[in-house]
């Protein structure tokens, strides 16, 4: 069945639908990963977004339930050049198309994804509508007007506290949309994890006496989470705090720095980042549309990592305020795994912070 993507700037791209056919509105972004589409689909950081895959053939190894990063698909839609109808892999449990139908997600194939990606790079990230209907201009304008991004974290965060009990290091995770593989990486390092909703107070966390606190990844504009930023300020200097992606941005705002929206963001598994402490370059997995403004960071904050494509901040730390954070995704899923040493550094940082107290 014919479907189409309608962009905010008036461009319409036609294709063929797969998955469900209900009209969906989302922020259109592109990802340059060649594999890992199911991890992308289930990453809570993509909540509310329509993801364009630049790699032309998607779905060729099907879907398995071991690699999912959350309990459901979080994207609003998936746009590909070609959806593989007959995947082949020994771990395959179903096709991509069947999975999108079960998860009520709009898929659109046979789209000129190269042209679409070039448009997003030139114009910048835009909202879009996936539909099979012939919508009037009034209907299109109404759908765009109703699209609200401010409550995305509330939608993906856990609604109640829960524990992953194995381990001797007590870690409090504030869930802004945490990926499954992040929790697994901490578990590998002997952490007993307690996960809290995004709106948990600092008082609640401190009274449970964790060894350190982790601020997770998640969707949306960090400046929308004013209450969370206020609570993070209360943690700084009292307990070691580490963060990834949105957690890194929230931590930066809590110390008085500023963030800004990027033109089209960093999304993919091939971004070079320099670890300034090690003087080494790593290829990283990334997924963010906002970045910390370098010139707003205090001189007391050490910049530990930079992106070699555009020189943006990819990591910061402070011994005085006991925090360390990373903008990219060291847990991969998808993407290269060579940055998983960051989790060892998080553990070492918390131990070093306590040794200095």
d(CA 121, CA 111): 17
Burial 29-65 (b: 16+ CB within 10 A, else e): bbbbbbebbbbbbbbbbbbbbbbbbbbeebbbbbbee
d(CA 42, CA 14): 25
The backbone torsions φ and ψ at residue 69, rounded to the nearest 5 degrees and listed phi first, read -100, -5
- 338: nearest Cα among 295, 279, 281, 257: 281
- Token digits of residue 10: 């008036």
d(CA 197, CA 199): 6
The backbone torsions φ and ψ at residue 298, rounded to the nearest 5 degrees and listed phi first, read -65, 150
Residue indicated by tokens 């970045």: 291
Residue 101's CB is within 10 A of a number of other CB atoms, namely 16
d(CA 264, CA 245): 16
- 270: nearest Cα among 335, 202, 189: 335
Helix (H, G, I), strand (E, B), or coil: what is residue 41? helix
- Token digits of residue 137: 């201009």
Sequence-separated (6 or more) residues with CB below 8 Å from residue 4: 12, 13, 14, 15, 108, 130, 131, 132
Q: Which residues are catalytic?
A: 245, 329, 331
- Token digits of residue 133: 């209907």
């Amino acid at each position: 069945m014919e479907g189409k993507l309608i962009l905010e700037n008036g461009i319409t791209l036609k294709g063929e639908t797969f998955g469900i056919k209900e009209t969906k509105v989302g922020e259109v972004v592109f990802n340059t990963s060649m594999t890992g589409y199911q991890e992308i689909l289930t990453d809570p950081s993509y909540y509310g977004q329509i993801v364009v895959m630049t790699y032309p053939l998607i779905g060729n190894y099907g879907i398995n339930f071991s690699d999912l990063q959350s309990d459901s698909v979080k994207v609003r839609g998936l746009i590909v050049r070609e959806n593989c109808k007959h995947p082949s892999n020994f771990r395959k449990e179903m096709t991509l198309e069947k999975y999108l139908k079960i998860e009520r997600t709009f898929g659109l194939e046979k789209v000129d994804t190269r042209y679409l990606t070039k448009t997003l790079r030139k114009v910048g990230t835009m909202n879009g509508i996936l539909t099979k209907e012939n919508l009037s201009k009034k209907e299109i304008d109404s759908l765009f007007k109703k699209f609200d991004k401010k409550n995305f974290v509330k939608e993906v965060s856990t609604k109640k506290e829960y524990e992953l009990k194995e381990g001797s290091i007590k870690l409090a995770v504030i869930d802004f949309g945490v990926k499954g593989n992040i929790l697994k990486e901490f578990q590998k390092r002997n952490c007993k994890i307690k996960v809290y909703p995004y709106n948990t107070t600092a008082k609640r966390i401190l009274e449970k006496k964790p060894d350190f606190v982790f601020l997770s990844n998640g969707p949306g504009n960090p400046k929308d989470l004013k209450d969370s930023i206020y609570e993070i300020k209360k943690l700084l200097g009292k307990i070691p705090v580490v963060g990834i992606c949105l957690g890194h941005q929230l931590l930066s705002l809590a110390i008085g720095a500023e963030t800004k929206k990027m033109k089209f963001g960093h999304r993919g598994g091939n971004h070079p980042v320099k670890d300034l402490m090690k003087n080494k370059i790593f290829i990283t997995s990334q997924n963010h549309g906002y970045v910390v403004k370098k010139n707003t960071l205090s001189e007391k904050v050490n910049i530990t990592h930079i992106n070699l494509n555009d020189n943006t901040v990819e990591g910061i730390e402070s011994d005085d305020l006991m925090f360390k954070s990373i903008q990219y995704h060291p847990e991969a899923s998808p993407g290269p795994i060579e940055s998983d040493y960051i989790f060892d550094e998080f553990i070492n940082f918390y131990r070093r912070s306590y040794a200095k107290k």
